[in-house]
Amino acid sequence: MANDDNTAAITGQCYCGRTTIRTTQKPLAVAYCHCADCRRVTGRYDYLPGQVYIAIGILDQADDLAPQLHAHEAQRLDWLHIEDDLERFATSSRSRLGDGGK
């Protein structure tokens, strides 16, 4: 299903399927976040007003939403090695996430 500007819907659900999401708005930013908080939670963050953080793994279209940067690289798990040319921020990338990762 698509909206008026032909943007395909993005859908997802929790593991049990009881909670579902649907939007026709593309993500403002997609990022690898290596911080301990993001490994544990999903929801609203004060420094991203009007935005909701959603772990990409719950989205049906996750394969189509490639990350644009790495945030909190300094907290990356030692055994996790992702080889790419994306920009890496040792701490927060809030300045980039606030502008959609552009």
Q: Looking at the 3D structure of the chain, how many domains does it have?
A: 1
Residue 70 domain-assigned?
yes
Residue 13 domain-assigned?
no
At residue 7, the 3 state secondary structure works out as coil
- Whether 22 shows a pLDDT value over 90: the answer reads yes
Residues 23, 9 contacting (CB under 8 angstroms):
yes
Q: 13: which residues sit within 8 A by CB, 6+ positions away?
A: 19, 20, 21, 58, 60
Residue 64 domain-assigned?
yes
Residues 48, 31 contacting (CB under 8 angstroms):
no
- Whether 93 shows a pLDDT value over 50: the answer reads yes
**Residue 3, pLDDT score:** 43
Residue 3 domain-assigned?
no
In one-letter notation, the amino acid at residue 88 is R
- Per the prediction, the chain carries an average pLDDT of 84
Residue 81 domain-assigned?
yes
Confidence of residue 1 (pLDDT cuts 50, 70, 90): very low
Locate tokens 């299903």: which residue?
1
Residue 11 domain-assigned?
no
Segment 67-80 mean pLDDT: 94
Q: Which pTM does this prediction carry?
A: 0.73
Domain extent for 46: 26-102
